[in-house]
Amino acid sequence: MEPGRSKAQRKAIQLMTVKNVLVVGGGITGTIASIALSQKGVKVTLIEISPQWFGVGHGITVQGNALKVLDQIGALDRLGAGFSFSGLNVYDASGAVLAETEMPHTGGQEYSSAMGILRSELQTTLVEMCHELNVEVRLDTEMVAFENHSDSVDVTFASGAVERFDIVIAADGIRSKTRALLGIHHDKKPTGLGIWRNVTKRSPEMSHASVYFNGPSYKAGFTPISETHCYAYVLTDPKRVDNGLSNAQEMKRLLEGYHGEFDFIRENISEDDYMNFQAIEWIFVDDQPWHQGRVILIGDAVHACPPLIAQGAAQCSEDALLLADYVTRDGDIETLFTEFTERRKPRIKVVVDASLQLANWELHPDTPGANPAALMASSLAELTKPA
Ligand SMILES: Cc1cc2nc3c(=O)[nH]c(=O)nc-3n(C[C@H](O)[C@H](O)[C@H](O)COP(=O)(O)OP(=O)(O)OC[C@H]3O[C@@H](n4cnc5c(N)ncnc54)[C@H](O)[C@@H]3O)c2cc1C
pLDDT tens digits, one per residue of 310-335:
999 999 999 999 999 999 999 999 99
- Among the residue ranges 10-14, 41-45, 106-110, the one predicted with the least confidence is 10-14
**What is the reported pLDDT for 68?**
98
- In ligand 1, which atom is closest to the CA atom of 178? 41
Work out the mean pLDDT of the chain and round it to a whole number. 94
Gap between the Cα atoms of 254 and 194, Å rounded: 12
Q: Pick the closest to residue 73 from 20, 41, 37 (CA basis).
A: 37
Going by alpha carbons, the residue nearest to atom 37 of ligand 1 is: 172
Q: What residue spans in the chain does CATH classification 3.50.50.60 cover?
A: 7-60+120-188+283-366
Q: Which CATH class is domain 191-280?
A: alpha beta
Query: Tell me, what amino acid is at 120?
Result: S
CA 99, 103, 104, 108 torsion-angle sign: negative
- Closest ligand 1 atom to Cα of 24: 43
Which residues belong to CATH 3.30.9.10 in the chain?
A: 191-280
Q: Where are the alpha helices (DSSP H) in 25-83?
A: 28-39, 64-72
- Beta strands across the sheet bearing 114-118: 59-63, 114-118, 83-85
Q: Which atom of ligand 1 is nearest to the CA of 47?
A: 43
Query: How far is ligand 1, taken at its centre, from the CA of residue 11, in Å?
Result: 36
307: Cβ below 6 Å to ligand 1?
yes
Answer whether 206 contacts ligand 1 (Cβ < 6 A).
Answer: no
Yes or no: say if 293 and 169 are a contact pair by the CB < 8 Å rule: no
311 ligand 1 Cβ < 6 A = yes
Residue 296 has pLDDT above 70, yes or no: yes
Residue 172 Cβ < 6 Å to ligand 1: yes
pLDDT in tens, 97-142: 999 999 999 999 999 999 999 999 999 999 999 999 999 999 999 9
Burial of 69 (0-12, 13-18, 19+ CB in 10 A): buried
Q: Is the beta carbon of 193 within 6 A of some atom in ligand 1?
A: no
H or E, element range at 178? helix 178-181
> Ligand 1 centre and the CA of 204: distance in Å?
30
Tell whether the model's pLDDT for residue 155 goes beyond 50.
yes
User: Which pLDDT score, from 0 to 100, does residue 1 have?
Assistant: 46
Regarding the beta carbon of 299 and ligand 1, being less than 6 Å apart is answered: yes
Distance 27 CA to ligand 1 centre (A): 6
Distance from Cα 322 to the centre of ligand 1, integer Å: 18
Of the options 3.50.50.60, 3.40.640.10, 3.30.43.10, 3.40.50.10440, the CATH number for the domain spanning 7-60+120-188+283-366 = 3.50.50.60
| Residue with CA closest to ligand 1 atom 21 | 313
What distance in angstroms lies between residue 351's CA and the mean position of ligand 1's atoms?
16
Contacts 24+ apart (CB under 8 A), 123-127: 123/28, 123/31, 123/53, 123/54, 123/55, 123/56, 124/55, 125/75, 125/78, 125/79, 125/80, 126/28, 126/31, 126/32, 126/35, 126/75, 127/26, 127/31, 127/53
- 74-99 pLDDT, tens per residue? 999 999 899 999 999 999 999 999 99
pLDDT at residue 6, as a whole number:
77
Query: What does the pLDDT read at residue 53?
Result: 81
Which ligand 1 atom minimizes the distance to the CA of 171? 26
Between the CA atoms of 359, 365, 367 and 369, what dihedral angle is there, to the nearest 10 degrees?
90
Atom 30 in ligand 1: which residue has the minimum CA distance? 173
